[in-house]
């Protein structure tokens, strides 16, 4: 129980943040907030040694009758993500304490959103129930929206926030659809049970739809091509947020989902192809366009896009292991390990790079790479961290990025060995895509590093005089940078405690224990293809970097208008402006038009229902005879109605209406309803008197008016309604589907209610409440009438109206 | 008789809807009046018109009119009266304040006010 409640610890703590902010205004609120991720990190760290004995579960039902629960499900994969969330979270909060000014910023808002995100993200990676996973998923989108829009008075922030929300929530909704199909096919909402039930789900006719819909969710969240466009605009968020949400955790939710569902969907070739291809395209696209950026965080955003694509591609390749015999002994075992390993490495080096970008921004006042340069001597520590981070990202030793980059190349090379699903035809191209993308990765890493810290920048022109950041701001990136180096030297320790348990959770069908996973990572693994590729990447990448100024103009050929961003903008404008135009076409504001729609719809709905339920069986059996009185009354009524329609004056119309009313009363007499007749006579008399009072004896009212002009549209709709009512009346008369309950009243009216006049007894006894409410309605109408007559518009307002 | 009544009711509804779709408030109110007349007769017809005596317990009466539609109509008559009275006063006051009983003109005046 504690385990599941701890997911909610951050958001519960968040409730006290505004209070702490107000009470201890002299202490930076971040110091209190820091306790939360630290506590959680320690709590989750306790699971590390024994995680393979798990999974550890803990359930909390929020709607037990609907089987809606939040289940915390901790296995290797969830634990790894939970640790990432809490550890990077602690470092980011620590960093933010120095990044965000206590006096200038609205810290209570910032930390509230951040803690809300923490709960949401922990919920995503630990939920076993699909619905709670979805809810937490959307909560991450919402908290991301709030954090991107934290500086809400800036246009760009609001634009970026909305864009990320639009795209990720669209994906989330698609994913929900996929989840519902999945739960329908598998008969459960629990991911564990669904995976155990995998073969049934694979036979479902909607299998491909589940894959597409769920991948839409994962791809939008993890900024895959072509949905990545929200991520660069999300860089308007404060830098701690970019480091935390938009590189280390939230954007990896999609990765998590793909990894989590791999055992379920990897049997499908579509899954493997979709994930591998989208990953590789994203990898190439992101790295290629990263070199175009001039904003430091823009470069990092595109590089994040590219790296996410790389992890995604590896996860796709990991699915192949389900299709070969004894994959443990082959090259196919590498991809899953490589994906998880790179995910951890990316969190470390990208986190540190973002923090350095934030430091540069903070100390120089700009993030524009065209203005920066030559900061190396002024900010030596920041430079060292940036160098470690960039070179790790470029895939050079002695940094962790080198190891996972080699594994990445291994897993991409494995694709050409795979013979199923057309991989023998297309597979050999894929390593080349990876190769080219890696070259651009190398280029943008140098680009980022060189033009910020080296080169001949004019530091005196910067908005602020640059100097090294305060030590507090440097602690977090230093810790991350040390990890980058440390992981290079102890990859197998990390592998044993973190990576292998996660791989075990991702490919449970393949391995019994973590010792079965045959991977032992080494920096030097012989003169292999991978190493040759790395050398090629470095050489070509270096040449491209030196000639950067010569070929950079090719980016000008990329038209903004036809880019994905242009498409998004046009789509939003379409949704905004054109949909309003469309609705203005029919939402005219005129009550008559709305009534016309309603009547027309009613006619269509009722008549088509009559058709479909075979309501046109008319019989004239059991009908009453037609008598002379009836016909006479009918003629009076019809003449009265016609007179109303063609009356020239109001008086005529009112009197004709009265005639219709009295003829209705006559009908009541003829059809043996004396009570109705009495009521009708009284009411009709009063009504006519009221009509005359209101409209005839009003002094200012003109007594003469034109005959009503004939309108064909109105007539057609009226005719339709008339026909419909006639059909319904005929149908109701001819077909008695259920026996009338009137007999009950006839039988019991004397014995139970002690009365003889059945209608009266029904009104005051059987349906007494009905009558009570009827009287209430009358009372309300009476009060409203009184109010309208007594209340007058204030004189003042009337005057302004008149002056207009 | 029911068949004849069905057509008469359809005619009443047609006239009522045509009036309701007009611009003048008075015609709309007259239209609602006709509509309720039509609805009352419709309920009565649906229950069957073949009764030979009022629905009052009496010796020797075997084929009395259906009491249930009558009870429903009785409620409906009173309610429709309340609604009509309310409409009338509303229209009267609107005319006093705005000087017209044409819906389009009322909309224009209110739009100018904003």
Q: State pLDDT tens for residues A99-155.
A: 888 888 888 889 999 999 999 999 999 999 999 999 999 999 999 999 998 988 888
Inter-chain touch B67–A762, beta carbons under 8 Å: yes
Rounded mean pLDDT, A589-593 = 82
Confidence of residue A799 (pLDDT cuts 50, 70, 90): very low
Residue A421 in any domain: the answer is yes
User: Are A668 and A767 found together in one domain?
Assistant: no
Chain A interface includes B75 (CB < 8 A): yes
User: Are A681 and A777 found together in one domain?
Assistant: no
Q: State pLDDT tens for residues A299-322.
A: 999 999 999 999 998 898 888 888
Output the pLDDT for position A804.
Answer: 39
Range of the domain at A774: 757-804
**Residue B81 Cα, gap to closest chain A Cα (Å):** 7
Question: Which tokens is A110 given?
Answer: 């910032």
Single out the residue in A546, A573, A602 at which a domain terminates. A546
Confidence of residue A27 (pLDDT cuts 50, 70, 90): confident
Largest CA distance in chain B: 69
Alpha helix stretches (DSSP H) within A613-649? 628-646
Output the pLDDT for position A1.
Answer: 54
Strand partners, A63: A68
Inter-chain touch A763–B50, beta carbons under 8 Å: no
Out of B3, B21, B67, closest to residue A742 by CB: B67
* Set of chain B residues whose Cβ sits within 8 Å of the Cβ of A698: 92, 95
Output the pLDDT for position A531.
Answer: 83
User: Are A413 and A537 found together in one domain?
Assistant: yes
A464 in Cβ contact with A83 (< 8 Å): no
Choose from A13-17, A589-593, B104-108 the range with maximum mean pLDDT.
Answer: A13-17
Q: State pLDDT tens for residues A411-440.
A: 888 777 777 777 677 777 888 888 888 998
Residue A29 in any domain: the answer is no
Residue A178 in any domain: the answer is no
Out of B18, B37, B95, closest to residue A664 by CB: B37
Assembly ipTM: 0.94
Rounded Cα distance between A164 and B60, Å, is 81
Instruction: Compute, in degrees rounded to 10, the torsion defined by CA atoms A785, A788, A791, A794.
Output: 180
Ordered per-residue pLDDT tens for chain B, 114 residues: 888 899 999 999 999 999 999 888 888 899 999 999 999 999 998 888 878 888 888 887 778 888 899 999 999 999 999 999 998 888 888 887 777 778 888 888 888 876
Question: Is pLDDT above 50 for A630?
Answer: yes
Confidence of residue A329 (pLDDT cuts 50, 70, 90): low
Best of B60, B89, B96 to disrupt the A interface (most A CBs within 10 Å) is B89
User: Are A682 and A761 found together in one domain?
Assistant: no
User: Are A541 and A635 found together in one domain?
Assistant: no
Rounded Cα distance between A515 and A344, Å, is 20
Confidence of residue A181 (pLDDT cuts 50, 70, 90): very high
Cα–Cα nearest to A83, from A221, A311, A242, A249: A249
Chain B from 41 to 60: CB within 8 A of any A CB: 41-42, 44-58
Give the 3-state secondary structure of residue A441: helix
Cα–Cα nearest to A259, from A514, A503, A519, A515: A503
Of A514-518, A532-536, A629-633, which gets the smallest average pLDDT?
A: A514-518
Question: Is pLDDT above 80 for A517?
Answer: no
With CA atoms as reference, the chain A residue closest to B43 would be A729
Output the pLDDT for position B32.
Answer: 93
B1: Cα separation from own chain's centroid: 22
User: Are A434 and A525 found together in one domain?
Assistant: yes
Output the pLDDT for position A707.
Answer: 62
Considering the segment(s) B2-113 as one domain, its CATH architecture is Orthogonal Bundle (1.10)
A693-698: list long-range contacts, CB under 8 Å, 24+ apart: A694/B88, A694/B89, A694/B91, A694/B92, A695/A650, A695/A654, A695/B26, A695/B88, A695/B91, A695/B92, A696/A650, A696/A651, A696/A654, A698/B92, A698/B95
Single out the residue in A546, A567, A585 at which a domain terminates. A546
Count of C-beta atoms within a 10 Å radius of residue A107: 23
Output the pLDDT for position A600.
Answer: 93
User: Are A680 and A762 found together in one domain?
Assistant: no
Question: Is pLDDT above 80 for A610?
Answer: yes
Of A234-238, A340-344, A639-643, A702-706, which gets the smallest average pLDDT?
A: A702-706
Residue A529 in any domain: the answer is yes
Average pLDDT along chain A:
85
Question: Is pLDDT above 80 for A621?
Answer: no
Domain count, chain A: 3
Output the pLDDT for position A703.
Answer: 45
Rounded mean pLDDT, A254-267 = 90
Q: State pLDDT tens for residues A373-417.
A: 778 888 888 899 999 999 998 888 888 888 888 888 888 887 777
A157 in Cβ contact with A236 (< 8 Å): yes
User: Are A518 and A641 found together in one domain?
Assistant: no
Give the 3-state secondary structure of residue A295: strand
Residue A408 in any domain: the answer is yes
Percent of chain A at pLDDT > 70 equals 94
Question: Is pLDDT above 60 for A705?
Answer: no
Question: Is pLDDT above 70 for A481?
Answer: yes
Residue A510 in any domain: the answer is yes
Question: Is pLDDT above 80 for A558?
Answer: no
Cα–Cα nearest to A499, from A588, A404, A396: A404
Out of B8, B44, B84, closest to residue A687 by CB: B84
């Amino acid at each position: 129980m504690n385990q599941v409640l701890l997911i909610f610890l951050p958001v519960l703590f968040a409730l006290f943040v505004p209070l702490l902010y107000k009470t201890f205004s002299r202490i930076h609120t971040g110091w209190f907030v820091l306790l939360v991720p630290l506590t959680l990190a320690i709590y989750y760290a306790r699971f590390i040694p024994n995680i393979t004995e798990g999974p550890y579960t803990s359930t909390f039902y929020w709607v037990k009758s609907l089987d809606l629960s939040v289940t915390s499900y901790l296995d290797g994969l969830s634990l790894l993500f939970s640790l990432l969330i809490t550890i990077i979270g602690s470092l980011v909060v620590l960093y933010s304490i120095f990044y965000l000014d206590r006096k200038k910023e609205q810290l209570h808002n910032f930390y509230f959103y951040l803690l809300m995100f923490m709960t949401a993200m922990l919920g995503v990676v630990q939920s076993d129930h699909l619905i709670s996973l979805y809810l937490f998923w959307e909560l991450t989108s919402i908290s991301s929206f709030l954090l991107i829009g934290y500086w809400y008075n800036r246009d760009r922030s609001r634009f970026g926030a909305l864009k990320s929300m639009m795209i990720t929530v669209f994906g989330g909704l698609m994913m929900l659809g996929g989840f519902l199909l999945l739960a329908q096919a598998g008969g459960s909402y629990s991911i564990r049970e669904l995976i155990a039930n995998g073969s049934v789900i694979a036979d479902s006719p909607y299998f491909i739809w589940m894959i597409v819909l769920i991948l839409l969710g994962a791809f939008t969240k993890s900024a895959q091509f072509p949905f990545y466009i929200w991520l660069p605009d999300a860089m308007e968020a404060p830098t701690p947020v970019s480091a935390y949400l938009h590189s280390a955790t939230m954007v990896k939710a999609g990765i998590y989902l793909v990894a989590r569902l791999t055992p379920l969907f990897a049997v499908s070739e579509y899954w493997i192809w979709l994930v591998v291809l989208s990953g590789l395209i994203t990898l190439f696209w992101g790295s290629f366009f990263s070199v175009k950026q001039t904003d430091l965080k823009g470069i990092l955003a595109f590089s994040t896009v590219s790296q996410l694509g790389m992890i995604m591609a590896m996860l796709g390749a990991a699915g192949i292991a389900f299709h070969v015999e004894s994959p443990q002994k082959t090259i196919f075992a590498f991809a899953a390990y490589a994906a998880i390993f790179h995910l951890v490495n990316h969190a470390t080096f990208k986190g540190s790079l973002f923090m350095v970008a934030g430091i540069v921004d903070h100390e120089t006042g700009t993030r524009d790479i065209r203005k920066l340069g030559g900061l190396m001597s002024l900010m030596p520590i920041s430079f060292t961290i940036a160098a470690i981070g960039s070179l790790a990202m470029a895939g050079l030793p002695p940094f962790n990025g080198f190891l996972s980059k080699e594994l990445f190349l291994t897993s991409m090379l494995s694709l050409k060995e795979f013979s199923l699903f057309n991989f023998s035809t297309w597979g050999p191209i894929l390593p080349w895509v990876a190769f080219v993308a890696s070259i651009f990765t190398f280029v943008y890493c140098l680009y980022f590093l060189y033009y910020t810290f080296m080169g001949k920048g004019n530091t005196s022109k910067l908005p602020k005089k640059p100097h090294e950041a305060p030590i507090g701001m440097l602690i977090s990136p230093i810790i991350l940078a040390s990890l980058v180096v440390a992981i290079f030297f102890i990859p197998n320790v990390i592998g044993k405690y973190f990576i292998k348990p996660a791989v075990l959770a991702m490919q449970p069908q393949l391995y019994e224990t973590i010792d079965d996973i045959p991977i032992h990572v080494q920096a030097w693994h012989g003169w292999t293809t991978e190493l040759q590729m790395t050398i090629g990447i470095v050489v070509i990448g270096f040449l491209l970097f030196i000639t950067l100024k010569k070929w950079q103009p090719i980016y000008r050929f990329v038209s903004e208008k036809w880019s994905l961003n242009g498409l998004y903008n046009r789509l939003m404008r379409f949704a905004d402006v054109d949909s309003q135009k469309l609705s203005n076409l029919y939402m005219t504001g005129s009550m008559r038009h709305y009534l016309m729609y309603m009547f027309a719809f009613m006619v269509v709905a009722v008549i088509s229902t009559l058709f479909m339920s075979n309501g046109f069986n008319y019989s004239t059996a059991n009908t009453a005879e037609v008598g002379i009185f009836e016909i006479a009354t009918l003629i009076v009524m019809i003449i009265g109605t016609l007179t109303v329609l063609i009356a020239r004056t109001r008086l005529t119309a009112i009197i004709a209406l009265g005639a219709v009313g009295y003829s209705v009363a006559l009908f009541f007499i003829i059809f043996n309803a004396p009570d109705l007749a009495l009521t009708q006579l009284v009411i009709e008399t009063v009504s006519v008197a009221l009509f005359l009072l209101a409209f005839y004896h009003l002094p200012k009212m003109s007594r003469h008016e034109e005959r009503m002009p004939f309108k064909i549209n109105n007539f057609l709709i009226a005719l339709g309604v008339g026909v419909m009512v006639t059909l319904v009346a005929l149908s109701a008369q001819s077909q008695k589907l259920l026996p009338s309950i009137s007999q009950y009243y006839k039988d019991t009216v004397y014995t139970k209610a002690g009365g003889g006049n059945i209608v009266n007894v029904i009104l005051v006894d059987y349906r007494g409440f009905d009558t009570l409410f009827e009287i209430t309605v009358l009372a309300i109408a009476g009060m409203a009438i009184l109010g309208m007559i007594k209340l007058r518009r204030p004189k003042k307002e009337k005057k302004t109206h008149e002056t207009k | 008789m029911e068949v004849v009544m069905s057509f008469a009711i359809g005619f009443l509804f047609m006239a009522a809807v045509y009036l309701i779709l007009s611009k003048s408030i008075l015609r709309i109110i007259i239209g609602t009046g006709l509509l309720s007349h039509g609805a009352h007769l419709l309920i009565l017809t649906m229950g069957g018109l073949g009764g030979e005596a009022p629905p009052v317990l009496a010796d020797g009466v075997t084929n009395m009119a259906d009491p249930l539609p009558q009870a429903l109509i009785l409620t409906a008559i009173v309610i429709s009266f309340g609604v009509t009275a309310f409409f009338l006063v509303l229209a009267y006051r609107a005319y006093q304040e705005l000087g017209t009983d044409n819906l389009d003109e009322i909309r224009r005046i209110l739009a100018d006010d904003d």
